[in-house]
Structure 1
Amino acid sequence: MSARIFTRTNSSVLKQCLTRTGATPSLARSAVPSPTGKLYEGHIPISPLQRTILAVGSAFTALANPLRGDMVAALGETTSGIFLNRIRDQMLQDPEGRRILRERPVITSETMQLDTLRQLPDGTFGREYVRFLDDQQVSPDTREPVHYVDSEELAYVMQRYRETHDFYHTLTGLPVTVDGEIALKWFEMAQTGLPMTMLSSFFGPLRLSSEERERLFNVYVPWALENGSTGKLLMNVRWEEWMEKPVEDVQRELGVRPCPEV
């Protein structure tokens, strides 16, 4: 089973970050008064000071251990700020994006009907997507829920971003390796500008061997920046409705070339 960036793990460091300011995930709602209270299921209101401490603590932990999915998730939420607003605004400018925000579909094993996708012909997007899940022994049900985004709508935008991650692998053909995941973060940075993707893009290569860094910067990064910036904003894609299309057609319609073979 290969590693993935977003996995459920224990959240002891997260609890330590909040405890230092007098709150824990179970107490944060009462420790930080909010005029509207809990904005959505799982929402944990925190103060600006707590947000800063959690952002710094999660950044150090995520850089030291990228497999800490809870810390990667916390870093993304505490630093997303205006960037989630920008993504939401871009979605509102697109018919499919508006429909996604209105209907709020979720990506789970049940909603994607994985057994049905396994019956699709080879080469279709749905068949290759579920093949990716099976090969990596992962599930769409393992995404960390959103806790620290103080807007119900923006929390959904963040959750949608997380849930569609595996579609990006299917679309781009990037391998689930350390340099492949970093390359995907460069692609996502060009697409979204989220600070978490920038941090992973700039500091992630420090963990690579010289050969891996050479491949990353000479092959993957130029491809990622070009295709991420010129392709369609993938947050505006209703992936659930593209499953029966051939992968090549999906790539062509979205303006994303498959990653170079190395």
Structure 2
Amino acid sequence: MNIIIIEDELKAARSLENMIAEVRPQAKVIAQLQSIDSSVRYLTENKQPDLIFMDIQLSDGLCFEIFKSVKITCPIIFCTAFDEYSLEAFKANSVDYVLKPFSKTDIADAFKKVDELKNFFQQSIMPDLGNLLSQIAQPAGKKSFLVFKHNKYTTVSTDSIAFFYIRNEATSIMCFDQQEYSLNQSLDQVISLLSPVQFFRLNRQYIVNFNAIKEVEHYFMRKLFVKLTIPTPEKLLINKEKAPVFLNWLENR
């Protein structure tokens, strides 16, 4: 199996290559690329590999720009520190979406999914690739959260949550009925539990439910101003770097 690694952090690329050598010694890393430009050039001039490990934020932009210039037909395992791009990754031949810092077990599990994909094609006359990738790569998301309020434990349905946010340095839940609850998890932990189809992390302070979004406006400095169906303690702003990803999420969910 020939593999290329697209990763702008050399230390991370070396670490990944070492893990690949441990969990799949018969595989060969034939190239390490650090940018959109170098990746497009390599994939245009060379035969495509059997598998690509790809970071999302590269030195010259988001890796999804590569797909605008090159048709990639091999499976891709995305390795990234950012969880909000999983929907876009899913549309780009994604077999797995591994969050940094990843372990040797994570890489081994990713290879297992690649093997399952190959076995499926070998056994099926008319394979439904979209359905298979959906089953393999698309997380269902947590159905409820256990909360404690007024000396009682109760569960809050995820569908009833309008948004999660940071209040007084702690994570809080705001429901559509404007009931509020506290959580022990950080927003980083929360977003990893949610369906990326239903929830989006706007910024460091807020994760919102698609059903809570009322409208979106352009704001100063190419930011976006997101209005919800219920009041929020402050304006919900998305910076210009994340704005295209958010709009794509709105359009393609």
Normalising TM by the smaller chain, what interval?
under 0.3
Question: Which structure has greater strand proportion?
Answer: 2
Normalising by structure 1, we get a TM-score of 0.22
Normalising by structure 2, we get a TM-score of 0.22
The structure number with the bigger radius of gyration is 2
Whose relative contact order is higher, 1 or 2, with alpha carbons under 8 Å and at least 6 apart? 1
Question: Which structure has greater helix proportion?
Answer: 1
